Chains A and B, each alone.
Chain A
Amino acid sequence: MRLDRTSWITVAVVLGSAVLMAGLNLATGPSAAAHVPTYVIGLYGKYLCYAMLALAVDLIWGFAGILTLGQAAFFALGGYAMGMYLMREIGARGVYGNPILPDFMVFMGWHQLPWYWYGFDWFGFAMVMMLVVPALLALVFGYLAFRSRVTGVYLSIITQALTYALMLAFFRNDMGFGGNNGMTDFKDILGFPLRAPSTGCALMVLSALFVCLEYLLARYVVTSRFGKVLIAVRDTESRTRFLGYRPETYKLVVFVLAAMMAAVGGALYVPQVGIINPSEFAPSNSIEAVIWVAVGGRGTLVGAILGAILVNLGKSWFTSALPEVWLFALGGLFIFVTLFLPKGLMGLFAPRVRIVPDAPPADVPVGEAREVVG
């Protein structure tokens, strides 16, 4: 894979900004003019995790034409895997001092660790599960959906139902994941205390690194031969099928890949925000992720990163300065972008930014788009 200028710039900017901020935070004192406060580090780390979710959405929406309204479910699952490791890592330092059981289990009167919690005290195992569980869910769900050729808005709606069902399930106390309180009060990760600024900086830089890795991976996928077929599937699925390809296989592979990409984001998100709870599964989170991509520019990958960071920057500013206005602004953004900026912010730059040929403005040609009453 030959990296073009856009990729170089993207990687340089993401990594450079992260390292610079971390350096300024650690090297300068709070009084220095160039000092970056620790909360900014946490905030930027959070945005970078969202960028991974956005990359995943862009990969399936922008390049496979599947509008997923449930991608945050995989993000949250990755987060829960990390949360389970962090809970076990607390060990006997919890409020109840139980060396095995997390606090919420003692609180609910559990006496034994559920079988699915075994092994999560080992970081390696937790990280494997962090990838395997979302991938398996995506595999089963995608296999069922794509095999029976559920497409378009139907697929969007059932992905939304998927994350909604997961949210309801994780809200239940007897699921063993902390119910509606979720998991929190984490102490340290691999022995590094989470409260220390150095750990925060390291996590943030690590997030930036993973954003770059995921970006390069996604870019590799979409520029490969596989990616060309994928784009063909997006633009005219039937024609691709008639040419002898199996669209469902291509869609399934990219769906599973995107699920794992989102999960990595979730896993890095949890130690930085210090909590994971079922509201991460809320359908609105997934839809917000879609708007990040739409704002940045669908099908550009760079746009996904840009959109995630900019929209969340706006959210942070609005929710502290003008909380009443935030939903108006977000809603207006949805409408404005879809009506007036169909190619997102990246569309404002020169078309050479696009790494693959343009998607047609419509998902399907107009004549075929309508569901029709018989």
Chain B
Amino acid sequence: MRRILPLFLVALLALVPLLARAADSSAALAMIASGNYDQMREGIADLAASGDPRAAAIIESLKNSTLFMNDDNVLFIQKASGGFVNAATGAPAPGLSADSLTQVFADLRAQAVISKVLGQLQLFAPDAATRMNAAEALLQSHDVAALPILAKALAKETVPAVRTVLQQAQAAALLFSTSATEQQRLESVAILRARGGLDSRALLASLTGQPPRVAAAITAAVESIDHSLELWGILQNVYYGLSLGSVLLLAAAGLAITFGVMGVINMAHGEMVMLGAYTTYVVQQVMHQVAPAWYQANLLFAVPLAFLVTALVGIAIERSMIRWLYGRPLETLLATWGLSLILQQAVRSIFSAENKDVDTPIWMSGDFHLGGLTITLNRLYIIGFAVVVLIALMAALRYTSLGLRMRAVTQNRMMAAAMGIRTPWIDALTFGLGSGVAGIAGVALSQIDNVSPDLGQHYIIDSFMVVVFGGVGNLWGTAVGALTLGVINKFLEPISGAVLGKIAVLVMVILFIQRRPRGMFPLKGRAAEA
């Protein structure tokens, strides 16, 4: 009887559509004002289902205890200013005071209905994102009672994305309803199967007591979703791997230059990365004080500054130390190791041994979804940054005068010197370039790792692996090596755990060197015979 009454009214008044809505919601309003809590819950649900544009405001005010009625059971809403408006029409009602009115209370059960229907009412909100969220919530709750309101919302909805979710929510509710036909169920399963994802899978897997054909379709759908989830999982791992690989690439690119071009093993390379990260920290601190308005752009300042600082340090190292050790790679290794200890201790003395907080700018934080992938923005930026750095380095080596000289010195030092190239300066600038690239790698790392004095130590062995794996003195090799090692690492992690995965990668590289002692892309010709 409860349900039939408003339906009856609707049918009756369908002849006069303009009045229909008003009559429909006025019956619901009367039930809210009836003073009976059972009727009130009915009334709230009916009001929400009526589609009355004022429904949301009325229910909201009931929730906030600002709904009043007079002795004739006419509802009024008290506004924040204290004045009253007629609940049904929204017309101001001057001359009323709270003394002459009775407040309408909602009991706990009515409150529960209110929060449910308010969610449903958001299906009609003007903002598409709000409608989307409401539809998603309904999909998760797969509430059978929401079916009519879903149908109503679907009829009005124009945004395709929201429509899709509404249909999915409807499908979920239909599957849990007792009245849906087999055909409807089959269609619903198909819709949820197309949606995919963990939630659809859980929803489908929780269904019981379905007709045999539907049950078969559900089993098939769950399998299909599992399959695609697996595929997305692999893609997600590839993304993580590329992200790790781009970090390795940034850290190793500078090493590839100094190691490749100059034959110098720079064990202090990790400390150049660390100096870059600390430069970022200092830039942020300074900008915070000096130019707070530009603070979000601090990385744009940090990148060139880090390059400059570490490049100058690199040139200083080359001029003061490394140039005395050319042709003695093992001695260079030891001396630069000593230098790395000094740099670490220096930073520890200046900045203390604690981790420093480096902020991630707002435009770099957050994530978004792409199909079944979760893409974190800061990692995406770092991947992009690594690509840019790689291209810039290659261009610099190929198209600039310095690059030309560098390649000449690399290929035949004696001949290059005979042609008038000042090889000592080329050495210094090459070392500066390699160190500078390490510095900007430090800027990138400061966004995803702790900035501490031993930051560089965490990456130096991996960077060496990359360079050795990719083939010395070959930026392409470095890029391929970094990405390969990154992806392999991320694929091994779920199988064997992070530490064993890392060990496995190290063992693989050691074994790989047996097969290809000069890396994946070895240098050919006489120049390669060392």
Q: How far is the CA of A61 from the CA of B330 in the complex (A)?
A: 10
Q: How far is the CA of A374 from the CA of B265 in the complex (A)?
A: 19
Q: Are B410 and A372 in contact (CB under 8 A)?
A: yes
A331 proximity list for chain B (CB < 8 A)? 337-342, 345
A273 at the interface (CB under 8 A from B): no
The stretch from A37-45, A108-116, A156-164 touching chain B is: A156-164
Mark out the residues of chain B between 336 and 360 whose CB falls within 8 Å of any chain A CB in the assembled complex: 337-342, 344-346, 349
A67 proximity list for chain B (CB < 8 A)? 330, 333
A153 proximity list for chain B (CB < 8 A)? 259, 265, 329-330, 333
Q: How far is the CA of A164 from the CA of B465 in the complex (A)?
A: 12
B474 proximity list for chain A (CB < 8 A)? 373-374
Using a CB–CB cutoff of 8 Å, the interface residues on chain B facing chain A are: 259-263, 265, 321, 324-335, 337-342, 344-346, 349, 407, 410-411, 413-414, 461, 464-465, 468, 472-474, 499-500, 502-503, 506-507, 509-511, 513-515, 517-518, 523-525, 527-530
CB distance from B314 to the nearest CB of A (A): 16
Closest to B410 in A: A373
Q: How far is the CA of A374 from the CA of B329 in the complex (A)?
A: 20
A368 proximity list for chain B (CB < 8 A)? 529-530
Residue from B327, B328, B330, B507 within 8 A of A156 (CB atoms) = B330
Q: How far is the CA of A222 from the CA of B249 in the complex (A)?
A: 43
A-B contact count (CB 8 A): 178
Using a CB–CB cutoff of 8 Å, the interface residues on chain A facing chain B are: 61, 67, 141, 144-145, 147-150, 152-154, 156-158, 160-162, 164-165, 168-169, 171-172, 283, 287, 290-291, 294, 324, 327-328, 330-335, 337-339, 342, 361-374
Q: Are B342 and A339 in contact (CB under 8 A)?
A: no
Closest to A333 in B: B338
Q: Which 7 A-B pairs rank lowest in CB-CB distance, beginning with the nearest?
A: A334-B338, A331-B341, A331-B342, A327-B345, A366-B327, A373-B473, A372-B527
CB distance from B440 to the nearest CB of A (A): 21
Residue from B514, B518, B528 within 8 A of A145 (CB atoms) = B514
Q: Are B506 and A164 in contact (CB under 8 A)?
A: yes
CB distance from B529 to the nearest CB of A (A): 7
B528 proximity list for chain A (CB < 8 A)? 372, 374
Q: Are A287 and B337 in contact (CB under 8 A)?
A: yes
A160 proximity list for chain B (CB < 8 A)? 461, 464
- A165-B507 contact in complex given A154-B517, A327-B345, C-beta closer than 8 Å: yes
B414 proximity list for chain A (CB < 8 A)? 367
A161 proximity list for chain B (CB < 8 A)? 461, 464-465, 506, 509-510
CB distance from B319 to the nearest CB of A (A): 13
Q: Are A374 and B527 in contact (CB under 8 A)?
A: yes
Q: How far is the CA of A124 from the CA of B328 in the complex (A)?
A: 44
- A370-B507 contact in complex given A342-B331, A361-B328, A362-B327, C-beta closer than 8 Å: no
Q: Are A339 and B335 in contact (CB under 8 A)?
A: yes
B527 proximity list for chain A (CB < 8 A)? 372-374
Q: Are A149 and B411 in contact (CB under 8 A)?
A: no
CB distance from A60 to the nearest CB of B (A): 12
Q: Are A157 and B468 in contact (CB under 8 A)?
A: yes
Q: Are B468 and A158 in contact (CB under 8 A)?
A: yes
Q: Are B461 and A338 in contact (CB under 8 A)?
A: no
Q: Are B321 and A369 in contact (CB under 8 A)?
A: no
B517 proximity list for chain A (CB < 8 A)? 148-150, 154
